[in-house]
């Protein structure tokens, strides 16, 4: 059986996912092109050596429609013989892309694959792909009161796990502090590829969403983001503490992972940086929706034969502060190893790109500290989660 290894992981900086954001003037295909071309150039590859490109994207309408993976491959100048497919596992789309790519290598179906993803939330706003659709009769019959948006799910998690507003805001402020520190120390530099024509924000940190001046006191002044009269009547016990400050911001960005068999990497004289150790994907309660990382981690640990204490770092996507806090509580995780360079609250959550962005951060942090095993897990819309364990080589 072949081992699937990571040879390279790169990403663009992230921009605010609103009109006027740093990357809002760049078509999402062109964001993908930056990553695809850089992966070839940095590793001395020709596009004809790529067996497939598997790309995550959540809102597959407008500028992100018509199989954006294939459009990106063609726009990047890859040979027309290189296939590509776009997948949607909600926020975990590019993590799932990496799973599919690595599993294809392990099965012997691929030698070299590029997996990753893109999302331009400034040009294709969150929810665009719904097109005004309504739930099916079967779904309404199963959930007669209706499911809720992710913000409400984050509130339900905060309530169930007894998380206070101060807990959430302190976690969010720490995310910005850690991200600022990591950028100041140059820890992200090896992952970043510049987007032509896009200048670094005034903070000097390429990721536009990182706010070095963030404080708990400042966050405490923000109002709840998801409170409405209708929802307050439906959930009278909630005290509504999820705000824009303890949630991930709307973001633009692209990222990608170069994955191949260990044999092919050695043949090409490329250095494998990590191997895929274990995989898991789960479904979970679609009302709570964002608790999936807990059973996904439990499953991947059981499959790997490792314990939480064997892991040197864990990247748990910060869609909302309540998600990693609940995860850390149930897994008895070390807070110092949880998102050590900050997470999506600071670094942004460009939906289709976030999975491979987290993978790059995880690998780089293992390399910087000499760690061996790292875990990545993400909550996903509809109540799902992926989990991946990688082993640094």
Residues forming the active site: 91, 349, 379
21 CB-near residues (< 8 Å, 6+ apart): 15, 122, 208, 252
Among residues 315, 317, 313, 318, the alpha carbon closest in space to that of 368 is found at 313
Contact, 76 vs 137, CB < 8 A? Answer: no
- The alpha carbons of the chain give a radius of gyration, in whole angstroms, of 20
Contact, 253 vs 118, CB < 8 A? Answer: yes
3-state secondary structure of 13: coil
Contact, 14 vs 348, CB < 8 A? Answer: yes
Dihedral sign for Cα atoms in the order 238, 17, 214, 342:
positive
Residues listed for the chain: 393
What is the 3 state secondary structure string of 126-193? Answer: CCHHHCCCCCCHHHHHHCCCCCCCHHHHHHHHHHHCCCCHHHHHHHHHHHHHHHHHHHHCCCCHHHEC
Burial class (CB in 10 A: 0-12, 13-18, 19+), 199: exposed
């Amino acid at each position: 059986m072949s081992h699937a290894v990571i040879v390279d992981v790169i990403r663009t900086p992230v921009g605010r996912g609103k009109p006027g954001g740093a990357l809002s003037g760049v078509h999402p295909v062109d964001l993908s092109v930056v990553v695809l071309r850089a992966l070839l150039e940095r590793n001395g590859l020709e596009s004809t050596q790529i067996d497939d490109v598997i790309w995550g994207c959540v809102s597959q309408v407008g500028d992100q429609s018509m199989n954006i993976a294939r459009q990106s491959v063609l726009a990047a100048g890859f040979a027309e013989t290189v296939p590509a497919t776009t997948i949607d596992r909600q926020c975990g789309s590019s993590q799932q892309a990496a799973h599919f790519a690595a599993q294809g290598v392990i099965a012997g179906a691929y030698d070299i694959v590029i997996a990753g993803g893109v999302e331009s939330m400034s040009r294709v706003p969150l929810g665009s792909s719904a097109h005004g659709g309504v739930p099916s009769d079967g779904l309404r019959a199963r959930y007669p009161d209706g499911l809720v948006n992710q913000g409400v799910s984050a509130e339900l998690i905060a309530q169930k796990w007894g998380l206070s507003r101060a807990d959430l805001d302190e976690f969010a402020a720490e995310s910005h502090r850690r991200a600022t520190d990591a950028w100041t120390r140059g820890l992200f530099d090896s992952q970043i590829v510049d987007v032509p024509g896009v200048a670094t924000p005034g903070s000097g940190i390429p990721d536009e969403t990182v706010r070095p001046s963030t404080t708990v006191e400042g966050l405490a002044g923000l109002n709840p983001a998801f409170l409405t009269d209708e929802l307050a009547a439906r959930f009278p016990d909630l005290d509504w503490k999820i705000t824009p400050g303890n949630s991930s911001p709307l973001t633009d960005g692209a990222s990608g992972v170069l994955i191949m068999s260990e044999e092919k990497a050695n043949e090409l004289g490329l250095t494998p940086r990590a191997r895929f150790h274990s995989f898991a994907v789960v479904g979970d309660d679609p009302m709570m929706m964002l608790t999936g990382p807990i059973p996904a981690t439990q499953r991947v640990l059981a499959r790997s034969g490792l314990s939480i204490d064997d892991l040197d770092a864990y990247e748990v996507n910060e869609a909302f502060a309540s998600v990693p806090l609940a995860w850390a509580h149930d897994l008895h995780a070390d807070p110092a190893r949880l998102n050590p360079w900050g997470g999506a609250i600071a670094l942004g959550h460009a939906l289709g790109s976030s999975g491979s962005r987290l993978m790059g951060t995880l690998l780089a942090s293992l390399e910087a500290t000499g760690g061996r095993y790292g875990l990545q897990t993400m909550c996903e819309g509809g109540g799902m989660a992926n989990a991946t364990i990688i082993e640094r080589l």
